[in-house]
Amino acid sequence: MAHDFYQLMNNKKEALSFKLLYITHSEYDKNWHSLTHTHHFTELFYIVSGKGSFVLPTHEISVQKNDLIVINPNVEHTERSNFKDSLEYIALGIEGIAFTLTDNDPYGLFTYQDDQDDILYQLKKLLYEVEKKDVRYEHVCQNIIEILIVKLLRSKKLSIEKSEAKQLSHAIALAKYYMTQNFHDPITLDILARISNINKYYLVHLFKEELGMTPIAYLNNLRINEAKHLLATTTMTVGEISHITGFSSQSFFTQAFKRETSMTPSSYRQQQFELTESH
């Protein structure tokens, strides 16, 4: 007969204070990219399969299966698959904390080598909880996040600090994330309301209150900014750009672009060309 007894140390630690804004499981085909964007919260990406890269302000980081990417608040970034591989990842938006890597890089690649199967299991458990929304699922999610954070801290490659930032509602964070990742596709207010799990009229109210604009105005701004980039850096036609940025027609794209910039897409392209030539 054997009997093992372990007494836990009663060391009081300050509880982690954070809010899980969203968790998403995304799969993208070859040669996909999101828009360049920033968040007021921390994002964690776990690469489930495939290969791709994260484009940061000063460099580009290649990623592959089992890589964990930490993007701290207010760091400009975009993610994309490459020409040969698709990209599948699970992403978390966490408000209230930030991570510091051992080299003091505010963002970057952290390959988690220990308990990879368990990390993926915990992330999938998170997805299950938020999809099912059983009784007190929020508490289960909070506990799973704390388990993940402790595992990362045990690696001794990451440290954690509080991040002071304005509070953003779950609904706004979900809608913004969805628009950033899917701006190429047709997006309606009804779709955003369903993604955010709230009434569409209340979603409009929240957007105006927290961001000073409607959801559709925010979406059009994303699309116009991507169109500016494509006009200045590619030889794609205006029609091709209007299609790839998600506008329903070239005429609507031209109207929206002129309303935002006071010039047509062709005039903007010519202006950017002349500016480049002058330098």
Task: State the CATH architecture for 19-162.
Answer: Sandwich (2.60)
Q: How many CA atoms lie within 13 A of 264 on its CB side?
A: 7
pLDDT for the residue 54: 86
Lowest mean pLDDT among 25-34, 138-147, 185-194, 216-225: 25-34
Q: Predicted confidence band at 215 (pLDDT cuts at 50, 70, 90)? A: very high
Contact 221, 260 (CB under 8 A): yes
Instruction: Tell me: pLDDT of 191 over 90.
Output: yes
pLDDT for the residue 100: 76
Instruction: Tell me: pLDDT of 94 over 80.
Output: yes
Between 153 and 279, whose confidence is greater? 153
pTM of the model: 0.69
Domain ranges for the chain, please list them: 19-162, 169-279
Quick one: average pLDDT of 31-46? Answer: 81
Between 188 and 78, whose confidence is greater? 188
Q: What is 93-144 written as a DSSP string?
A: EEESEEEEETT--SEEEEE--SSHHHHHHHHHHHHHHHHH--TTHHHHHHHH
CATH number of 169-279: 1.10.10.60
pLDDT for the residue 259: 92
The CA-CA-CA angle for residues 191, 192, 196, to 5°, reads 120
Between 70 and 100, whose confidence is greater? 70
